[in-house]
Amino acid sequence: MAQRGLGFWQRFAVMLVIPTMTFWTKRTWLGQDKLPRSGGVILVPNHVSHFDPLVVAHYIYKSGRWPRFLGKASLWRVPIVGPLLVKTLQVPVERGSVEAVKSLETLVAALDEGGAVVIYPEGTTTREPDLWPMRGKTGAARLALLTGAPVVPIANWGAQRVFDPRTNKLKFTRAAVTVTTGDPIDLSRWSGAEPTRQVLEEMTEKIMLGIRDLLGTIRDGEPPALYDRPARRVTKSEDA
């Protein structure tokens, strides 16, 4: 589906990415009719590979929306890459800082403008041995509670055939990838609730189970329980 109203740098990114993805992947796209065609929406994919943001972005763009990813601010400091991320309206976040509040404000504004905001609730590629989802972080739930925007799950599978985070091996052979969209996750139980830790964790659990079950529809096997996140490694400076 062609998109109108894209700026120069957005069109430039499309010219770079789409031909590459068309050559590099053999695509099975499902559920595109469930991705809202307009209006602010929070899209929450599972995260199996550092390659899957390109897979998901390709899918969302071809479904008629411009994806605005939330990503680690360190990427915005990379020459060439950083300026391109700015020009294509992606959103940096500094974790655990005052800047994180500014990122939240940017996301709220994007949703108010009718944008399609993409947040990986796991925050990083899954550590589950078979690449099923982990327990998530609460950012998507917080944003949903604040804005009332629908939260729509996306499941993807196959990006690990290009780059597998378990082995850190990159392959240049054409890979079969599958992406699907599910129905909006019903979070009405928490509408108007205060964003307490318990509320945000309950909402996040609901979101992650929705993603996990959707992933189960495009993978063989029964989805396991959400994987408990490994404990964060404490550095010497933090321990001092």
For position 231, what pLDDT does the model report? Answer: 66
How many domains in the chain? Answer: 1
For position 105, what pLDDT does the model report? Answer: 86
18 found inside a domain: no
33 found inside a domain: yes
pTM: 0.91
Q: What's the CATH number where 153 sits?
A: 3.40.1130.10
Which residue range(s) make up the domain with 156? Answer: 23-164+174-219
DSSP string, the chain: ----S--HHHHHHHHHHHHHHHHHEEEEEE-GGGS-SSS-EEEEE----TTHHHHHHHHHHHTT--EEEEEEGGGGGSTTHHHHHHHTT-EEE-TTSHHHHHHHHHHHHHHHTT-EEE--TTSSS--STT-PPBPPPSHHHHHHHHH---EEEEEEESGGGTEETTTTEE--S-EEEEEEE-PPP--GGGTT----HHHHHHHHHHHHHHHHHHHHTTSSS---SPBPPPPPPPPHHHH-
For position 42, what pLDDT does the model report? Answer: 98
For position 106, what pLDDT does the model report? Answer: 86
10 found inside a domain: no
- Block means of pLDDT (10 residues each) for the chain, length 240 residues? 74 92 96 96 98 97 95 85 89 70 85 95 95 96 96 98 95 96 97 95 98 96 91 47
